[in-house]
Structure 1
Amino acid sequence: MTFERKLSKLYQMDDQAWARHANPWSVWSRNTVLPLLIAAFWSREWLGYGAIVPVVLAIAWAIVNPHIFSRPASIDNWASKCVYGERVWLNRDRVPVPAAHRLAPNILSGVAAVGSLLVIAGVVLLDPWMTALGAAFVYGGKLWFLDRMVWLYEDMKDHPAYRALGTTTPSSRPADGGERA
C-alpha cells in the first residue's frame, strides 16, 4: 500500500470525496491550510494554551476541505486534473505508471518534506525567515508535484482502470483499488 493511499484512508477519501476534491475551489482553498497552521501554532505566543482552538480549527479545515465542495461541472481544468493525477499516483503499486513519471514526484515530495521540517523548526523557534523559507519549499514542491500529476493524469486517463475518473458515473472498481460499500 502506497503512503498516499494510507493518507487517503486517513482523510476518508472514497470515490465521492475524490470527486468533490476535484472541484477547483477545494484544490485552491487547500493552499490555506499551511498558513492557517503556522498562524495557529505561532499564536501560542499570544494565546498560551488557548492556541489549541486555532490549531484544532486549522486541522479540522484540512480534514473537511476535500469533502465540502460539490463535484465540478467539468474536470477540464488544471486543478481537477491534479486531483485525478494524484489518484493515479496513489494507485501506482496496482497500476504501474510510465517510467517518465516515477522519479520527479518522489523528489518533489522530498522537497516539500524538507520544507515542512523547516516550517516546524521555524515555528518552534519563532523564526519568521526559516518559517517563510520552509513554506516556500513546501509550496514549490507541492505545486510542482501537482503539475506533474496533471501530466500523469493526461498520460494515464485512457487506461482501463482510469477511464471513468472525472465522469459523473463512478467506475465499477475504484481507481484507488478500495472496495465499494
Structure 2
Amino acid sequence: MDIIKWSEKLMSMDEKSWQRHANPWSVYSRFTTLPLLSLAFYSREWMGIYSLVPIVLAFVWIWLNPRLFNVPSSTDNWASMGTFGERLYLNRKNIPIPVHHQQVCMLLQTLSALGIPFFIYSLYSLNVGLLIASNIWIMVFKAWFVDRMVWLYREMKNSNGKYASEENHKQ
C-alpha cells in the first residue's frame, strides 16, 4: 500500500490544492500536524471527552493546510520543489521514476512508518518521552522524504516539459 497515494485520496487534493500547497508556508507549516495531533490526543488526560475539540481541530488543520495559502509567486525553493517531486512520485505508475529514487523513497516511507506503532502506543500509554521520540523519528524521515522529492523533481523536470512548466521563478 502506498501511504502517500492513500493520503492524497483521503485529502481529496485537486490541481488547485496542489498549486497552493507548493507555497513554502504550506509545506513548512505542514510539519506542525504531527505535534498538533499528538497534543490533541494527549489532551484526553486533562480534558476528557472535551479533547474531541482539539482532535477535530487538528484534523481540520491537516485538511485545510494545503488549501489555506495562496499559489506562491516563486517556486524556486526547496519546499515548492518538494511538492512538485511528490506529485511526480505519486504519478510514477503513469510516468516511471528512476529506480534509485523508488528504492530510497520506499525505504524512507518504511522507516517513517516504523515510528507509527510507537507513536500510537505512546498516546495510549501517555508516555511523553516516547511520544516526543516517535514524533521526531517520523518527522525526520518525512523531511528526508521531502528532500528526496526535491532531488527527484530536479532530475526529472528536464525529461518532461510539463514538469518544468510548473516551476515559477518570479522573485
Residue 15 of structure 2 is aligned to residue 9 of structure 1: no
146-155 vs 133-142, which moves further: 133-142
How is 1:56-71 mapped onto 2 (pairs within 5 angstroms)? 56-71=56-71
Q: Deviations over 1:2-56 (max 9, x none)?
A: 5533322221211111110000000000111111110110110111110000000
Instruction: Name the residue aligned to 1:23.
Output: 23
Residue 48 of structure 2 is aligned to residue 42 of structure 1: no
Structure 1, unaligned runs of 5 or more: 169-181
Structure 2, unaligned runs of 5 or more: none
Q: Is the 8 A contact 2:76 2:167 kept in 1?
A: no
Segments ≥4 residues shifted beyond 6 Å = none
Q: Is the 8 A contact 1:82 1:147 kept in 2?
A: yes
Q: Is the 8 A contact 1:3 1:90 kept in 2?
A: no
Equivalent residue letter for 1:134: S
1:69 Cα deviation from its structure 2 partner? 0.4
Mapped partners of 1:122, 1:5: distance in 2: 26
Instruction: Name the residue aligned to 1:122.
Output: 122
Give the match's secondary structure for 1:162: helix
Instruction: Name the residue aligned to 1:163.
Output: 164
Count the aligned residue pairs. 168
1:167 Cα deviation from its structure 2 partner? 4.8
Mapped partners of 2:2, 2:125: distance in 1: 33
Mapped partners of 2:9, 2:121: distance in 1: 28
With normalisation by structure 2, the TM-score equals: 0.92
Equivalent residue letter for 2:99: A
Instruction: Name the residue aligned to 1:80.
Output: 80
Mapped partners of 2:141, 2:6: distance in 1: 20
1:163 Cα deviation from its structure 2 partner? 3.2
Mapped partners of 2:104, 2:129: distance in 1: 27
Mapped partners of 2:122, 2:9: distance in 1: 30
RCO higher in structure (CA 8 A, sep ≥6): 2
Tell me the percent identity.
42
Instruction: Name the residue aligned to 1:140.
Output: 140
101-110 vs 51-60, which moves further: 101-110
Coordinate RMSD, CA, aligned:
1.7
Mapped partners of 1:17, 1:150: distance in 2: 19
With normalisation by structure 1, the TM-score equals: 0.87
1:117 Cα deviation from its structure 2 partner? 1.9
